[in-house]
Amino acid sequence: MKRYAVLIGVLVVMVSCSEAEKVVADDTCLSNGGKSYKWNMVTTWPKNFPGLGMAGENFSQYVDEMTCGQMKIKVYGAGELVPAMGVFDAVSQGNVQLGHGASYYWTGKVKSSQFFTAIPFGLTAQEMNGWLHYGGGLELWQEAYEPFNLVPLAGGNTGVQMAGWFNKEINSMEDLKGIKMRIPGLAGEIFTRAGGETVQLPGNEIFLALQQGVVDAAEWVGPYNDLTFGFHQVAKYYYYPGWHEPGSTLEIIINKDALMSLPKDLQAIMKYAAKAANQEMLDEYTARNNQALTELTEKHDVKLRKLPDEVLIALRDISEDVMIDFIEGDEMATRVYNSYVAFKDQVISYHRISEKAYIDTRELD
């Protein structure tokens, strides 16, 4: 009996210790003595803007949940803490720890940054993720941002965008001549060389510019965001495909000193929370664009049109010349371009017999 009593006592102690350890683990959640962190993230988007503006919010939520509240990230919309185009410098200088935007906004500082968002006739969202995470793209991105004390991570993707809103039909290259279009970046240069006139406008000014005839055409993102902005009220024709932005990757940038100051577990959480936010945005756009396009065409009688092959081929030829001129004299941009093109050539070969072949098969009569 004494032996049984001792055995039961030992078991009780073991269970009690196990329960105590469980409680401690639940309470502390992570290591580092329970130290808490409060960081700020600035973005290039209006606060809580659908799709684009929610990636930062999702990232903040994931970090909060994975750290059991040990790390809190407050997200600021454009203009709340810094101007939209001040995000890069604010994070680089350490005024805030995090930023969210699109890397091609910073081509004036880092020319190669253009490739980490999108280039005309470039990689799709799926292909961009492949290049970044398994084709050496992310390592080049980090190298390009190293002089600015920044660590970049993919932070969302809109998928293939739309070619834009037009107030007249486009049947040939001749129809592009003289059109004033809101279209930024390299695509703007291509459009200009095609005979159009490029106008630079922030997103919140596009509607009024179309309404007042300041521009004849404009591109923004795709059905989900375009419906929200109400462009169907001031433009009649909606053209596809989005040759200029076939898979626009957004970025989360982290001040490197701030990141390195974190314990290893929190550094890992930042990395994997960014991956989750990156995929989350693409999933949302895939679903919401379908719904929004149906509403635009069926409820608002938008005229959906495909750009003629003649126009797309001509724009593609022009884009190749623009890219060569763009990278000239910049060693880093040239290296990134070569990596990007090499990956694109390989993935096109495979997608011709996989993704494209399957989609073509699915649409057979």
How many other C-beta atoms are found inside a 10 Å radius of the C-beta of residue 194? Answer: 17
Q: What is the pLDDT of residue 19?
A: 38
How far apart (Å, rounded) are the C-alpha atoms in residues 18 and 21?
5
Q: What is the pLDDT of residue 33?
A: 53
> What's the pLDDT score for residue 168?
94
Q: Which residue has the higher pLDDT, 326 or 26?
A: 326
pLDDT, tens digit, 9 for 90 and up, residues 200-233: 888 889 999 999 999 999 999 999 999 999 999 9
Q: What is the mean pLDDT of residues 169-192?
A: 95
Report residue 25's pLDDT band, with 50, 70 and 90 as the boundaries: very low
Task: Give the CB-side neighbour count of residue 174, counting CA atoms within 13 A.
Answer: 2
CA 356 vs CA 129, 332, 347, 352: distances in Å = 18, 32, 11, 5
CATH T-level assignment (fold) for domain 35-158+247-286:
D-Maltodextrin-Binding Protein; domain 2 (3.40.190)
Residue 23's pLDDT band (cuts 50, 70, 90): very low
Instruction: Give me the phi and psi of 183, to 5 degrees please.
Output: -155, 120
Distance CA 59, CA 81 (A): 19
Residue 69 DSSP symbol: T
Q: What digits encode the pLDDT tens for the residues 145-164?
A: 999 999 999 999 999 999 99
- What pTM, to 2 d.p., does this model score? 0.88
Q: Rounded CA gap, 282 and 287, in Å?
A: 9
Summary count for the chain: helices (H), strands (E): 13, 11
- CB proximity list for 207: less than 8 A, separation 6 or greater: 229, 230, 231, 233, 234
Domain ranges of the chain: 35-158+247-286
Confidence of residue 286 (pLDDT cuts 50, 70, 90): very high
Judged against a pLDDT cut of 90, whether residue 69 lies above it is answered with yes
pLDDT in the model for residue 201: 85
